[in-house]
Amino acid sequence: MPVTALYGPEDIAPGGLRPSGMPERLPASTGGASLLPRPSLQWTPEVRRATAHLYDRVSTVIPPVEWPTMAPVIAAINELKASRDAVILAHNYQTPEIFHCIADIKGDSLQLAVEATRVKADIIIQCGVHFMAETAKLLNPDKRVLIPDSRAGCSLAASITGADVRLLRERFPGVPVVAYVNTSAEVKAEVDICCTSSNAVQVVESLNAPEVIFLPDQYLARYVASKTNVKIIAWKGACEVHERFTGDELRTFREADPSVQIIAHPECPPDVLAEADFTGSTAHMIDWVRKHHPRRVMLITECSMADNVRAELPDIEMVQPCNLCPHMKRITLANILDCLLDLSGEITIDPAIAARARQPIERMINLRN
């Protein structure tokens, strides 16, 4: 079923002005609290030996000449994690040296949300973007959640506010609201249930409603609408990484090599999905590659995920029409180390908002389980 309506700020507020009038705000660093001395970051025989097994994981995607600059920081981070009782969560879009060499828990948004509820450590460091760190904090209110760079935002999360959701509810009274996890805590506090790209169709159909408001990704909304008979009212948000791909671009690659397998994320526009051999979340895309083991494959999503898959499956050739996420790339080994040293970038959420925002995430997780 096609999307029945598509709304943006200009459609629900007179003159296109949002009552909130402000973009999403990111928390400031907590500064030098509990500062630890900076470790030596020299490339020594000891560091080489201690990190050799880690380089084996990424040797197909990180040149040997670059490893001596990374390995001392990686070794320091892994030592500091233990002394701080910290655990590192990394999204599939993190670079290989983060994803394969220092992450304790890794996956897509749904996997990270579920695993965050099982964390025993006192400190959670979210290597991803701001809404992911907020989600971890919502699910672990008594733990300290840090993000190495608080400027790591998201075009989808920035496309909608809590005030926008309230106006949508006024326009469509009684219609349940589903929010993609790529939203701020302020927005989550105004909705009925959250979803990820892994479970969006299941979440929409679980509401047993003839019509659902789905926000903020218009392309994921179109994908969901194509998989269900539920009428979808969508928001005009889009991921700045996935919306840049085009169907024409993929047809050009396919013409050059008809054997290439193209798998795409549902945040891509419809003409891109029409060219794909498979569409799914980042976790589903990775599982598809593992299962089918194609000779050549093109992952239509953020660049680093292809590097991470290639590191795991080096015999598969990755064709990369590369689009980088500028927000994911704000997370680096250097600022992860700084985060561990001074516990900066702590996530704080207004308790009144947190209490309401936690409920739709928990409903999603409980639905899955």
For residue 237, the SS3 value is strand
> Which helix H or strand E contains 218, and what residues bound it?
helix 218-226
Interhelix angle 303-312/282-292, rounded to 10 degrees, is 30
Q: Residues near 32 by Cβ (< 8 Å), separated by ≥ 6? A: 342, 344
Q: How many CB atoms lie within 10 A of CB 17?
A: 10
Q: Which of 125, 190, 108 is nearest to 355 (CA)?
A: 190
Token readout for 80 is 């500091």
Q: How many CB atoms lie within 10 A of CB 180?
A: 30
CB 96 within 8 A of CB 308: yes
Question: Which pTM does this prediction carry?
Answer: 0.88
d(CA 53, CA 73): 15
> Which helix H or strand E contains 115, and what residues bound it?
helix 109-116
Residues of the chain with pLDDT under 70: 13-34, 368-369
* Amino acid letter, 33: A
Token readout for 104 is 């304790």
One DSSP character per residue, 138-171 reads HH-TTSEEE-S-TT---TTGGG--HHHHHHHHHH
Q: 208 in the Ramachandran plot: left (φ > 0), alpha (ψ -120 to 50) or beta?
A: left
CB 277 within 8 A of CB 294: no
The sheet carrying 177-180 orders its strands as 5-7, 231-235, 211-215, 177-180, 193-195
Structure confidence at residue 13 (pLDDT): 66
d(CA 75, CA 59): 17
Q: 363 in the Ramachandran plot: left (φ > 0), alpha (ψ -120 to 50) or beta?
A: alpha
CB 310 within 8 A of CB 59: no
- The residues pairing with 293 across neighbouring beta strands, listed in sequence order, are none
d(CA 124, CA 349): 15
User: Three-state SS across 297-319?
Assistant: EEEECEHHHHHHHHHHCCCCEEE
For residue 161, the SS3 value is coil
* Amino acid letter, 167: L
pLDDT tens-place string over residues 226-253: 999 999 999 999 999 999 999 999 999 9
CA 258 to chain centre: 31
CA 161 to chain centre: 19
